[in-house]
């Protein structure tokens, strides 16, 4: 399993290395493949961490919303017609 993952990771980072926008003024191309691979891994881990954090926060928000809605349903209504 680890070998498959390593091959997948290498192929993705190598493809990204080859597709760098070399002549773009706003992009700093990295010509050292090892340094690029390191930067690629760091950026990928940051992306995964941010994605997981967002998903966790969304789940918490959904739970809080459901709890609040249940609480509001359990409260007696204060409609003007009951007076």
pLDDT tens sequence across 26-76: 988 989 988 988 888 888 888 888 888 888 777 777 776 776 766 667 767
pLDDT at 71: 62
| 16 confidence band (pLDDT: 50, 70, 90) | confident
Does the pLDDT of residue 83 top 60, yes or no? no
- Residue 28 to residue 50: CA distance in whole angstroms: 23
Q: With H, G, I as helix, E, B as strand and everything else as coil, classify residue 1.
A: coil
Nearest by Cα to 43 from 69, 23, 17, 24:
17
Q: With H, G, I as helix, E, B as strand and everything else as coil, classify residue 83.
A: coil
pLDDT at 53: 81
For residue 30, count CB atoms less than 10 angstroms from its CB and return exposed for 0-12, middle for 13-18, buried for 19 or more. Answer: middle
């Amino acid at each position: 399993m680890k070998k498959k993952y390593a091959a997948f990771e290498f192929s993705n980072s190598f493809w990204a290395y080859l597709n760098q926008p070399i002549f773009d003024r706003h992009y700093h191309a990295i010509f050292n493949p090892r340094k690029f691979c390191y930067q690629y891994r760091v950026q990928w881990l940051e992306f995964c961490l941010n994605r997981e954090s967002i998903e966790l926060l969304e789940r918490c928000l959904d739970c809080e919303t459901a709890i609040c809605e249940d609480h509001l349903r359990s409260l007696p209504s204060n409609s003007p017609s009951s007076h």
